[in-house]
Chain A
Amino acid sequence: AQSVSQHNHHVILSEAASLELGCNYSYGGTVNLFWYVQYPGQHLQLLLKYFSGDPLVKGIKGFEAEFIKSKFSFNLRKPSVQWSDTAEYFCAFKAAGNKLTFGGGTRVLVKP
């Protein structure tokens, strides 16, 4: 079955620290990959996406993600986090068909 695994459920770090969130998917074919973010009290919104081309993609607010096909991974990174990055982050992928499959999410708390 198609699935997405996010390794960390909770991450706590201080401002200016670097962030990396792991994401692995299980599907043998071509995929589109996404990271969504949900800030406290807000709806889910797209952070970045990968369809094809350069496996290093840049999104909003200084986030980037790298697609490593051989590892079925799409890890999210940010070199220096801010308090406003406190949120829940969801990795998702779309294979054949039209639905996105989401991971369980990682809650990130950035301490000021």
Chain B
Amino acid sequence: DTGVSQDPRHKITKRGQNVTFRCDPISEHNRLYWYRQTLGQGPEFLTYFQNEAQLEKSRLLSDRFSAERPKGSFSTLEIQRTEQGDSAMYLCATMTANTGELFFGEGSRLTVL
């Protein structure tokens, strides 16, 4: 158990619906990352928070995607008007200071029908 919790683990939705994923980090980790992983690919960076500040966002990320970390603890990733291409595993990972080691959660698998 890495200590990074993600919810839900699986989500099936219809195209056009909105979905939200939650990540609860290891408590002392101030850096939180969201990645997306599709079958046969490595994790692709989406966005990064240091405490409550969103410091970096992938230029490839559609404006249908938004992430928050309101109090510098848990984070949410919302996808609006989902498309079939959004089907993927959404991974949350956290890091303390600048150790460089990412601790990953189990991921939230999204299937868009």
How many residues of A are counted as interface, with CB atoms below 8 angstroms from the partner's CB atoms? 24
| A32 is an interface residue with CB less than 8 A from chain B | yes
- The A/B interface has a contact count, at CB < 8 Å, of 55
CB-CB under 8 A from A43, the residues of chain B are 2, 4, 104-107
How many residues of B are counted as interface, with CB atoms below 8 angstroms from the partner's CB atoms? 24
Interface string of A84-101 (1 = CB under 8 A from B): 000000101010011111
**Complex contact A104–B42 (CB within 8 A):** yes
CB-CB under 8 A from B55, the residues of chain A are 98
* Residue of A6, A9, A100, A103 touching B102 (CB-CB under 8 A): A100
Q: How far is the CB of A77 from the nearest CB of chain B, in Å?
A: 20
Chain A residues close to B by CB (< 8 Å):
4, 6, 9, 32, 34, 36, 43-46, 49, 51, 90, 92, 94, 97-105
Q: How far is the CB of B44 from the nearest CB of chain A, in Å?
A: 7
What are 15 of the A-B contact pairs (CB < 8 Å)?
A9-B40, A43-B2, A43-B4, A43-B104, A44-B91, A45-B104, A98-B31, A98-B50, A98-B56, A99-B48, A100-B102, A101-B45, A102-B35, A103-B42, A105-B41
